[in-house]
Amino acid sequence: MTERFAEDECQAEEEALDRIIELGALHPRAVMLIAQQAHPASIEADTHRIDLGLALSGWQGALQAERARHVDAVDAIRHMGRSGAAALRIAGNLARGLPAYHGLESQRASRALKYLQRSSIVHRSSQTGRWEIDDPLLATYIRNEIAT
């Protein structure tokens, strides 16, 4: 990222880079979107130095830029047939750091998880074995905007 910012004569503070990576949850696309949004925020602020505040502005910008995509994803989850309500509950659980099955009957949750996995919304982490939402920005949207 440092090299990409330097191409535009921008410099990012170490703390800002760490925060961008943290907010993107190490997800390459999310990190890239946050960094991309931090750059125009730096131009608007008339600076060539990305600090922690601009990193957070980049995160907010990325969330806003992805909003329509997130609305569509939640709509798709809601319309997963009879599993829609359970799938939305699972997405809410995962977005809040809870186990996928929390508060759900296991067979119903298992069916809904299969739909979510086939739709590339969730995956099972190879490190922890837990289910996770693929896109950390989508997880933030669900956590902040959707009552489940």
**Those residues with Cβ within 8 angstroms of residue 18's Cβ, 6 or more apart along the chain or in another chain:** none
Least Cα distance to 35 among 15, 7, 56 occurs for 56
Q: What pTM did the predictor assign?
A: 0.89
Cβ-Cβ contacts under 8 Å for 98 (sequence gap 6 or more): none
Q: Tell me the pLDDT tens digit for each residue of 10-21.
A: 889 999 999 999
Predicted local confidence at residue 138, as pLDDT: 98
Pairing of strands 49-50, 11-12: parallel
Q: Which domains does the chain have, with CATH numbers?
A: 2-65 (no CATH), 68-145 (1.10.10.10)
pLDDT tier at 9, thresholds 50, 70, 90: confident
